[in-house]
Amino acid sequence: MNAPKPYPTPLSSASFHILPREEAASDTLVIFFGAKDLGDYSFNFFQLGRELPEHVIFVNNGVNDWYQYGIPNLGETFEACVEVFRSWAEVLGVSKICCVGTSMGGWGAMRYGAALGARVLAFSSDVIFCDEASRSRAHFTGSHPVACADLREVLNESEAQVTFVIGERDPVDLYAASLLTECAGAEVISLVGCGHFVPPHLSREGRLGPLLRSFIAGAALPVAPDRGNLAHNRAYVSAIYAAQKAVERGEWQRVADQAEVALEHAPHGEAAEVLLGRARIKLGDYAGAVAPLTSAAISDPPTDPEARILLATAWRRAGALERSAQLSMRILTQNPGNARAHYNLALLAKANGLESKARAYAEAALRREPGNKHYRAFLAKLKDA
Protein backbone atom coordinates (compact mmCIF):
# COMPACT_ATOMS: atom_id res chain seq x y z
CA MET A 1 0.00 0.00 0.00
CA ASN A 2 1.32 3.43 -0.85
CA ALA A 3 0.37 5.82 1.95
CA PRO A 4 -0.60 9.25 0.68
CA LYS A 5 1.55 12.25 1.54
CA PRO A 6 2.10 14.69 3.08
CA TYR A 7 2.22 12.96 6.44
CA PRO A 8 0.63 14.62 9.51
CA THR A 9 4.01 15.10 11.23
CA PRO A 10 7.71 14.63 10.56
CA LEU A 11 8.83 11.01 10.79
CA SER A 12 11.24 11.48 13.66
CA SER A 13 12.17 13.70 16.60
CA ALA A 14 13.71 13.30 20.05
CA SER A 15 10.38 12.00 21.38
CA PHE A 16 8.86 10.00 18.51
CA HIS A 17 9.86 7.84 15.58
CA ILE A 18 7.40 6.75 12.89
CA LEU A 19 7.76 3.86 10.45
CA PRO A 20 5.01 3.92 7.81
CA ARG A 21 5.09 0.71 5.79
CA GLU A 22 4.47 2.16 2.35
CA GLU A 23 5.07 -1.09 0.52
CA ALA A 24 3.11 -3.33 2.89
CA ALA A 25 -0.63 -3.90 2.84
CA SER A 26 -1.06 -3.49 6.58
CA ASP A 27 -4.37 -2.51 8.15
CA THR A 28 -2.85 -2.00 11.62
CA LEU A 29 -1.01 0.83 13.35
CA VAL A 30 1.03 -0.14 16.44
CA ILE A 31 1.97 2.61 18.92
CA PHE A 32 4.71 1.84 21.46
CA PHE A 33 4.81 4.03 24.57
CA GLY A 34 8.17 4.47 26.31
CA ALA A 35 8.70 3.94 30.04
CA LYS A 36 10.21 6.47 32.46
CA ASP A 37 13.72 7.91 32.37
CA LEU A 38 14.31 7.47 28.64
CA GLY A 39 16.70 9.89 27.00
CA ASP A 40 16.13 11.71 23.72
CA TYR A 41 15.80 9.41 20.69
CA SER A 42 15.39 6.38 22.97
CA PHE A 43 12.37 4.12 22.62
CA ASN A 44 11.16 0.89 24.21
CA PHE A 45 10.50 -2.20 22.05
CA PHE A 46 12.51 -0.54 19.27
CA GLN A 47 14.17 -3.65 17.85
CA LEU A 48 11.02 -5.77 17.95
CA GLY A 49 8.90 -2.91 16.60
CA ARG A 50 11.18 -2.29 13.60
CA GLU A 51 10.82 -5.94 12.62
CA LEU A 52 7.01 -5.81 12.47
CA PRO A 53 5.26 -5.59 9.10
CA GLU A 54 2.66 -3.20 10.53
CA HIS A 55 2.87 0.59 10.60
CA VAL A 56 4.67 1.61 13.80
CA ILE A 57 4.96 4.72 15.97
CA PHE A 58 7.36 4.89 18.91
CA VAL A 59 6.82 7.65 21.48
CA ASN A 60 8.82 8.85 24.45
CA ASN A 61 7.21 11.15 27.02
CA GLY A 62 10.52 13.00 27.34
CA VAL A 63 10.07 13.61 31.05
CA ASN A 64 8.30 11.52 33.66
CA ASP A 65 4.91 13.14 33.20
CA TRP A 66 3.22 9.74 32.96
CA TYR A 67 1.49 10.78 29.74
CA GLN A 68 -0.78 13.09 31.74
CA TYR A 69 -0.27 15.90 29.23
CA GLY A 70 0.98 15.98 25.65
CA ILE A 71 4.00 14.33 24.06
CA PRO A 72 6.88 16.68 23.19
CA ASN A 73 6.98 17.66 19.50
CA LEU A 74 3.82 15.66 18.81
CA GLY A 75 1.14 17.66 20.61
CA GLU A 76 1.01 20.08 23.52
CA THR A 77 -2.01 18.39 25.08
CA PHE A 78 -3.33 14.87 25.43
CA GLU A 79 -6.25 15.70 23.14
CA ALA A 80 -3.91 17.12 20.49
CA CYS A 81 -1.83 13.94 20.53
CA VAL A 82 -4.93 11.77 20.19
CA GLU A 83 -5.84 13.74 17.07
CA VAL A 84 -2.33 13.28 15.67
CA PHE A 85 -2.61 9.52 16.13
CA ARG A 86 -6.03 9.56 14.45
CA SER A 87 -4.62 11.61 11.58
CA TRP A 88 -1.84 9.07 11.08
CA ALA A 89 -4.36 6.22 11.14
CA GLU A 90 -6.43 7.99 8.48
CA VAL A 91 -3.45 8.79 6.25
CA LEU A 92 -2.17 5.21 6.50
CA GLY A 93 -5.61 3.80 5.82
CA VAL A 94 -5.62 1.49 8.82
CA SER A 95 -8.68 0.08 10.51
CA LYS A 96 -6.97 -1.21 13.66
CA ILE A 97 -4.79 0.42 16.31
CA CYS A 98 -2.74 -1.39 18.95
CA CYS A 99 -1.10 0.40 21.89
CA VAL A 100 1.78 -1.25 23.76
CA GLY A 101 3.78 -0.11 26.78
CA THR A 102 5.40 -1.09 30.06
CA SER A 103 5.35 0.67 33.46
CA MET A 104 4.85 4.40 32.73
CA GLY A 105 4.48 3.37 29.09
CA GLY A 106 1.76 0.93 30.12
CA TRP A 107 -0.15 3.84 31.63
CA GLY A 108 0.27 5.75 28.35
CA ALA A 109 -0.83 2.75 26.31
CA MET A 110 -4.01 2.32 28.36
CA ARG A 111 -4.89 6.00 28.51
CA TYR A 112 -4.35 6.66 24.82
CA GLY A 113 -5.75 3.26 23.93
CA ALA A 114 -8.98 4.15 25.72
CA ALA A 115 -9.29 7.38 23.72
CA LEU A 116 -8.52 5.62 20.44
CA GLY A 117 -10.69 2.54 21.05
CA ALA A 118 -7.55 0.46 20.56
CA ARG A 119 -6.44 -2.98 21.59
CA VAL A 120 -3.90 -2.53 24.40
CA LEU A 121 -1.03 -4.67 25.64
CA ALA A 122 0.23 -3.16 28.91
CA PHE A 123 2.85 -4.49 31.29
CA SER A 124 3.29 -3.63 34.97
CA SER A 125 1.56 -0.26 35.19
CA ASP A 126 -0.23 1.68 37.89
CA VAL A 127 -4.00 1.95 37.55
CA ILE A 128 -4.69 4.57 40.24
CA PHE A 129 -2.40 7.56 39.81
CA CYS A 130 -0.08 8.51 42.70
CA ASP A 131 -1.59 5.98 45.10
CA GLU A 132 0.42 5.65 48.31
CA ALA A 133 2.86 2.92 47.24
CA SER A 134 2.64 3.48 43.48
CA ARG A 135 5.51 4.09 41.09
CA SER A 136 3.77 7.15 39.69
CA ARG A 137 3.84 8.70 43.18
CA ALA A 138 7.54 7.92 43.49
CA HIS A 139 8.60 9.15 40.05
CA PHE A 140 6.02 11.60 38.67
CA THR A 141 7.66 14.93 37.77
CA GLY A 142 4.70 16.82 36.30
CA SER A 143 4.09 20.37 37.45
CA HIS A 144 0.48 20.72 36.25
CA PRO A 145 -2.75 19.27 37.67
CA VAL A 146 -3.23 15.57 37.00
CA ALA A 147 -5.55 15.00 34.06
CA CYS A 148 -6.33 11.31 34.65
CA ALA A 149 -6.38 9.89 38.17
CA ASP A 150 -7.91 6.44 37.62
CA LEU A 151 -7.60 4.43 34.41
CA ARG A 152 -10.68 2.38 35.23
CA GLU A 153 -12.84 5.44 34.61
CA VAL A 154 -11.59 5.96 31.04
CA LEU A 155 -11.39 2.25 30.24
CA ASN A 156 -14.96 1.57 31.37
CA GLU A 157 -16.20 4.32 29.05
CA SER A 158 -14.20 3.03 26.09
CA GLU A 159 -14.33 0.22 23.57
CA ALA A 160 -10.64 -0.49 24.22
CA GLN A 161 -9.67 -4.08 24.99
CA VAL A 162 -6.76 -4.42 27.45
CA THR A 163 -4.40 -7.32 28.04
CA PHE A 164 -2.51 -6.56 31.24
CA VAL A 165 0.55 -8.66 32.11
CA ILE A 166 2.33 -8.45 35.47
CA GLY A 167 4.74 -10.44 37.63
CA GLU A 168 3.45 -11.91 40.88
CA ARG A 169 6.59 -10.91 42.79
CA ASP A 170 5.60 -7.24 42.68
CA PRO A 171 2.93 -6.15 45.23
CA VAL A 172 2.26 -2.81 43.51
CA ASP A 173 1.63 -4.45 40.14
CA LEU A 174 -0.51 -7.17 41.73
CA TYR A 175 -2.68 -4.47 43.26
CA ALA A 176 -3.06 -2.70 39.91
CA ALA A 177 -3.93 -5.98 38.20
CA SER A 178 -6.55 -6.72 40.85
CA LEU A 179 -8.16 -3.33 40.15
CA LEU A 180 -8.27 -4.02 36.41
CA THR A 181 -10.18 -7.25 36.96
CA GLU A 182 -13.15 -4.91 37.62
CA CYS A 183 -13.05 -3.69 33.98
CA ALA A 184 -15.10 -5.73 31.53
CA GLY A 185 -12.69 -5.08 28.66
CA ALA A 186 -9.56 -6.19 30.51
CA GLU A 187 -7.82 -9.55 30.67
CA VAL A 188 -5.26 -9.89 33.46
CA ILE A 189 -2.32 -12.28 33.20
CA SER A 190 0.09 -12.75 36.13
CA LEU A 191 3.39 -14.65 35.88
CA VAL A 192 5.04 -16.63 38.66
CA GLY A 193 8.75 -16.02 39.18
CA CYS A 194 8.62 -12.57 37.60
CA GLY A 195 8.83 -9.07 39.08
CA HIS A 196 8.15 -5.61 37.70
CA PHE A 197 10.32 -5.97 34.59
CA VAL A 198 8.11 -8.31 32.58
CA PRO A 199 9.31 -7.60 28.99
CA PRO A 200 13.00 -8.31 29.81
CA HIS A 201 11.89 -11.45 31.65
CA LEU A 202 9.94 -12.67 28.59
CA SER A 203 12.64 -11.56 26.15
CA ARG A 204 15.34 -13.51 27.99
CA GLU A 205 13.26 -16.66 27.49
CA GLY A 206 12.47 -15.92 23.84
CA ARG A 207 8.79 -15.31 24.59
CA LEU A 208 8.32 -11.58 24.12
CA GLY A 209 8.41 -11.55 20.31
CA PRO A 210 5.87 -14.37 19.88
CA LEU A 211 3.59 -12.77 22.48
CA LEU A 212 3.75 -9.37 20.81
CA ARG A 213 3.18 -10.72 17.30
CA SER A 214 0.25 -12.88 18.41
CA PHE A 215 -1.33 -9.95 20.19
CA ILE A 216 -1.02 -7.61 17.20
CA ALA A 217 -2.44 -10.27 14.89
CA GLY A 218 -5.44 -10.73 17.19
CA ALA A 219 -4.56 -14.39 17.64
CA ALA A 220 -4.67 -16.41 20.84
CA LEU A 221 -1.68 -15.58 23.02
CA PRO A 222 0.94 -18.31 23.56
CA VAL A 223 0.23 -20.46 26.59
CA ALA A 224 2.23 -19.22 29.58
CA PRO A 225 3.49 -22.23 31.57
CA ASP A 226 4.22 -19.92 34.49
CA ARG A 227 0.82 -18.27 34.58
CA GLY A 228 -0.52 -17.67 38.07
CA ASN A 229 -3.83 -16.51 39.51
CA LEU A 230 -3.01 -14.30 42.49
CA ALA A 231 -4.30 -11.12 40.83
CA HIS A 232 -7.77 -12.61 41.31
CA ASN A 233 -7.17 -13.48 44.98
CA ARG A 234 -8.53 -10.29 46.53
CA ALA A 235 -7.78 -11.21 50.14
CA TYR A 236 -4.14 -11.92 49.29
CA VAL A 237 -3.77 -8.75 47.23
CA SER A 238 -5.34 -6.60 49.95
CA ALA A 239 -2.93 -7.92 52.58
CA ILE A 240 0.19 -7.77 50.43
CA TYR A 241 -0.55 -4.22 49.31
CA ALA A 242 -1.10 -3.21 52.94
CA ALA A 243 2.30 -4.72 53.68
CA GLN A 244 3.88 -2.75 50.84
CA LYS A 245 2.36 0.50 52.10
CA ALA A 246 3.78 -0.28 55.54
CA VAL A 247 7.20 -0.64 53.91
CA GLU A 248 6.87 2.92 52.61
CA ARG A 249 6.19 4.08 56.19
CA GLY A 250 8.95 1.94 57.74
CA GLU A 251 6.44 0.03 59.90
CA TRP A 252 8.23 -3.31 59.82
CA GLN A 253 6.11 -5.14 62.38
CA ARG A 254 3.03 -4.29 60.33
CA VAL A 255 4.84 -5.45 57.20
CA ALA A 256 5.47 -8.81 58.85
CA ASP A 257 1.91 -9.07 60.17
CA GLN A 258 0.30 -8.28 56.81
CA ALA A 259 2.69 -10.57 54.90
CA GLU A 260 1.70 -13.41 57.24
CA VAL A 261 -1.98 -12.64 56.62
CA ALA A 262 -1.30 -12.73 52.88
CA LEU A 263 0.37 -16.13 53.19
CA GLU A 264 -2.72 -17.46 54.95
CA HIS A 265 -4.66 -16.71 51.76
CA ALA A 266 -1.91 -17.89 49.38
CA PRO A 267 0.64 -20.07 51.22
CA HIS A 268 3.28 -19.77 48.50
CA GLY A 269 2.80 -16.17 47.42
CA GLU A 270 6.24 -14.94 46.35
CA ALA A 271 5.70 -11.27 47.11
CA ALA A 272 4.52 -12.11 50.62
CA GLU A 273 7.51 -14.40 51.23
CA VAL A 274 9.96 -11.69 50.18
CA LEU A 275 8.30 -9.01 52.28
CA LEU A 276 8.05 -11.30 55.31
CA GLY A 277 11.74 -12.17 55.05
CA ARG A 278 12.70 -8.53 54.61
CA ALA A 279 10.59 -7.49 57.60
CA ARG A 280 12.06 -10.18 59.84
CA ILE A 281 15.57 -8.99 58.95
CA LYS A 282 14.58 -5.45 59.88
CA LEU A 283 13.12 -6.75 63.17
CA GLY A 284 16.29 -8.70 64.00
CA ASP A 285 14.76 -12.15 63.48
CA TYR A 286 17.46 -13.38 61.09
CA ALA A 287 16.85 -17.09 61.56
CA GLY A 288 13.13 -16.54 61.02
CA ALA A 289 13.82 -14.74 57.75
CA VAL A 290 15.62 -17.72 56.21
CA ALA A 291 12.59 -19.95 55.53
CA PRO A 292 10.39 -17.51 53.55
CA LEU A 293 13.39 -16.11 51.67
CA THR A 294 14.66 -19.59 50.76
CA SER A 295 11.27 -20.43 49.30
CA ALA A 296 11.13 -17.17 47.32
CA ALA A 297 14.74 -17.47 46.14
CA ILE A 298 13.92 -20.65 44.22
CA SER A 299 12.09 -18.60 41.58
CA ASP A 300 14.15 -15.39 41.72
CA PRO A 301 14.49 -14.05 38.17
CA PRO A 302 18.17 -13.63 37.14
CA THR A 303 17.78 -9.89 36.64
CA ASP A 304 16.10 -9.32 40.01
CA PRO A 305 17.69 -11.45 42.77
CA GLU A 306 15.82 -9.73 45.59
CA ALA A 307 15.11 -12.85 47.66
CA ARG A 308 18.63 -14.20 47.17
CA ILE A 309 20.38 -11.03 48.34
CA LEU A 310 18.03 -10.81 51.33
CA LEU A 311 18.72 -14.47 52.10
CA ALA A 312 22.48 -13.82 51.92
CA THR A 313 21.94 -10.95 54.37
CA ALA A 314 19.89 -13.12 56.73
CA TRP A 315 22.53 -15.85 56.68
CA ARG A 316 25.29 -13.33 57.41
CA ARG A 317 23.40 -11.78 60.31
CA ALA A 318 22.55 -15.27 61.65
CA GLY A 319 26.24 -16.26 61.58
CA ALA A 320 26.20 -18.54 58.53
CA LEU A 321 29.04 -16.61 56.92
CA GLU A 322 30.17 -19.24 54.43
CA ARG A 323 26.67 -19.78 53.06
CA SER A 324 26.17 -16.03 52.80
CA ALA A 325 29.44 -15.61 50.89
CA GLN A 326 28.69 -18.51 48.56
CA LEU A 327 25.24 -17.16 47.67
CA SER A 328 26.60 -13.62 47.18
CA MET A 329 29.21 -14.95 44.76
CA ARG A 330 26.51 -16.85 42.85
CA ILE A 331 24.52 -13.64 42.54
CA LEU A 332 27.57 -11.87 41.11
CA THR A 333 28.08 -14.69 38.61
CA GLN A 334 24.72 -13.79 37.05
CA ASN A 335 24.70 -10.10 38.00
CA PRO A 336 28.28 -8.77 38.16
CA GLY A 337 26.96 -5.28 38.77
CA ASN A 338 24.82 -6.10 41.81
CA ALA A 339 25.95 -3.52 44.37
CA ARG A 340 24.19 -5.18 47.30
CA ALA A 341 26.04 -8.47 46.72
CA HIS A 342 29.36 -6.60 46.59
CA TYR A 343 28.48 -4.82 49.84
CA ASN A 344 27.49 -8.06 51.56
CA LEU A 345 30.83 -9.57 50.57
CA ALA A 346 32.56 -6.46 51.93
CA LEU A 347 30.84 -6.95 55.29
CA LEU A 348 31.73 -10.65 55.29
CA ALA A 349 35.36 -9.90 54.48
CA LYS A 350 35.49 -7.36 57.30
CA ALA A 351 34.01 -9.92 59.72
CA ASN A 352 36.76 -12.35 58.70
CA GLY A 353 39.49 -9.77 59.20
CA LEU A 354 40.23 -9.40 55.47
CA GLU A 355 40.52 -5.63 55.32
CA SER A 356 41.89 -5.33 51.78
CA LYS A 357 39.17 -7.55 50.35
CA ALA A 358 36.55 -5.65 52.29
CA ARG A 359 37.84 -2.40 50.83
CA ALA A 360 37.81 -3.80 47.27
CA TYR A 361 34.24 -5.06 47.57
CA ALA A 362 33.07 -1.82 49.16
CA GLU A 363 34.68 0.20 46.37
CA ALA A 364 32.96 -2.03 43.79
CA ALA A 365 29.60 -1.46 45.48
CA LEU A 366 30.14 2.29 45.60
CA ARG A 367 31.14 2.46 41.93
CA ARG A 368 27.80 0.93 41.03
CA GLU A 369 25.78 3.07 43.46
CA PRO A 370 27.88 6.22 44.06
CA GLY A 371 25.07 7.92 45.96
CA ASN A 372 24.65 5.18 48.59
CA LYS A 373 25.53 6.72 51.97
CA HIS A 374 25.89 3.33 53.71
CA TYR A 375 28.51 2.10 51.26
CA ARG A 376 30.38 5.39 51.47
CA ALA A 377 30.36 5.43 55.30
CA PHE A 378 31.54 1.81 55.48
CA LEU A 379 34.38 2.48 53.07
CA ALA A 380 35.40 5.58 55.02
CA LYS A 381 35.62 3.53 58.24
CA LEU A 382 37.79 0.96 56.48
CA LYS A 383 40.16 3.64 55.24
CA ASP A 384 40.36 5.26 58.67
CA ALA A 385 41.11 1.98 60.42
Domain boundaries, the chain: 16-231, 233-319, 336-385
Read off the pLDDT of residues 240-261 as tens digits, 9 standing for 90 and up. Answer: 999 999 999 999 999 999 999 9
For 146-164, give one letter per residue: b (16+ CB within 10 A) or e: ebbeebbebbeebebbbbb
Does this chain's domain 16-231 share its CATH topology with 233-319?
Answer: no
CA 326 to each of CA 288, 308, 313: distance values in angstroms, whole numbers, following the listed order: 20, 11, 12
Q: What is the mean pLDDT of residues 340-354?
A: 96
- Contact (Cβ atoms closer than 8 angstroms) between residue 348 and residue 313: no
CATH of 16-231 among 3.30.930.10, 3.30.460.10, 1.50.40.10, 3.40.50.1820? 3.40.50.1820
Q: Show the CA angle centred on residue 128, arms to residues 139 and 279, nearest 5°.
A: 65
Helices 78-92 and 104-116, packing angle to 10 deg: 70
Per-residue pLDDT band for 302 (boundaries 50, 70, 90) equals: confident
Full-prediction pTM beyond 0.85? Answer: yes
- Contact (Cβ atoms closer than 8 angstroms) between residue 68 and residue 78: yes
CA 150 to each of CA 9, 68, 113: distance values in angstroms, whole numbers, following the listed order: 30, 11, 14
Q: What is the mean pLDDT of residues 101-110?
A: 97
pLDDT for the residue numbered 25: 77
Q: Which of 42-56, 293-307, 344-358 is the least confident region?
A: 293-307
Question: Considering the chain, what is the average pLDDT of its residues?
Answer: 94
Assess whether pLDDT exceeds 80 at residue 67.
Answer: yes
Using a 10 angstrom Cβ sphere, with 0-12 exposed, 13-18 middle and 19 or more buried, the burial of residue 209 is middle
pLDDT for the residue numbered 144: 83
Per-residue pLDDT band for 2 (boundaries 50, 70, 90) equals: very low
3-state secondary structure of 20: coil
CATH number for the segment(s) 233-319: 1.25.40.10
